[in-house]
Each structure stands twice: as structure tokens, then as C-alpha cells.
Amino acid sequence: MNLRPTVPDCMGEADPNLGDIVVPEDVLQRRIVELGAEITRDYEGRAPLLVGVLKGAFIFMSDLARAIRLPVEFDFMAVSSYGSATKTSGVVRIVKDLDLDLSGRDVLVVEDIVDSGLTLSYLRRNLQARGPASLEVCALFVKDGLQKSDPDLRYVGFPIPPDFVVGYGLDVAERYRNLPFICRYLGPA
């Protein structure tokens, strides 16, 4: 007898690897509209450069950009501290660097999730060294109690429990990114 919850995968089929929904789709979308309004207000008269952290933030960044009522530009970085694991390796590396010069730009890093804060700390130091006029971070999710120091986030979508979660860009071994909600990942039964 399987006592695991049955959350549907992207095909609508029950997936025993998925636990309960942490943030439903409608709640996600409402909060993104609110974040877009905050950013629009705070950056009035400026055109922020949104720097998306691949791959996890691409869906969030797309929806967030449409909720910002200002001219924006985009660039992307890919950094890794996970590989295909569900726990960080502790080593951060740049997999894809930016194409644009940050000098004198108002840069808003768009991050999917902040776990320990190690990757974000590395990223912030790296980008700050490139001379932006301002550098802020918008993280959709922050895992409760895992950061060793204050991650200094300007915009936060949701604090969430310190469980491994998937959906809305977040994955395990490249799966589950296209779920429209966030749910716990239980792993193989």
C-alpha cells in the first residue's frame, strides 16, 4: 500500500516522487504581479538590467519581466553548485557568463531559490566587481533557516520550508521544471 501523496506531474498523472504542494500556481502568479509592481515603483525612471540565473530562474524571470511596467533588458548567467544532486557540493562555478557590460547599469539579479546563500554570495561578489550603478536581488524562494548569513535580498517572493522542492523552473536532474506550482520532492519510492 502506497501512503505517499499523489501530486500530478506535468502530464496530469500521479507521480509518487512528488509530495504536497508548497506554493500553488495561483498564489505564485499573484505574488509575481506584486513583485513586478514593487520593482516598477522602485526603479521608476530607470531601465533595469535583469540578470537571470539559469536554468532555474528562467520561468520566473519571464513572468516577472511581464509584470514590470518599465523598459527592461535581459542577460543570463549559469552558475552551479549542485550538478545533478539534491544537495549542494559547496563549490560554485560559472557555467555561462554574461554577454553585457554591467558598468553603470542598474542590475537586478533574478534568482529562483536561495538555499545556503553560497551561490548568491559568490554571484554578488562577482557582479559587484564589474561596476554596476546598483546591484539588487529578487529571489522567488528563500529556504527557512539554511543561510549562514543574511543574504541581503531586496525582493523575496516566499519563504519556504527547507525541503527539496521542484516545479516552476526548479528541478531534480532536469525534471519537473514545467510544473506550474512548487511541491516537495520525495525522491524515488
CA dihedral 172, 159, 68, 98 (to 10 degrees): -50
Q: Which of 115, 144, 163, 171 is catalytic?
A: 115
Q: What is the chain's Cα-based Rg?
A: 17
- Segment 30-89, tens digit of pLDDT: 999 999 999 999 999 999 999 999 999 999 999 999 999 999 999 999 987 655 545 555
Q: How far is CA 17 from CA 62, 169, 178, in A?
A: 27, 17, 15
Domains for the chain: give ranges and CATH numbers: 18-171 (3.40.50.2020)
* Predicted model pTM: 0.86
User: Residues 123-145: pLDDT tens digits?
Assistant: 999 999 999 999 999 999 998 87
Q: Is 150 part of the annotated catalytic residue set?
A: no
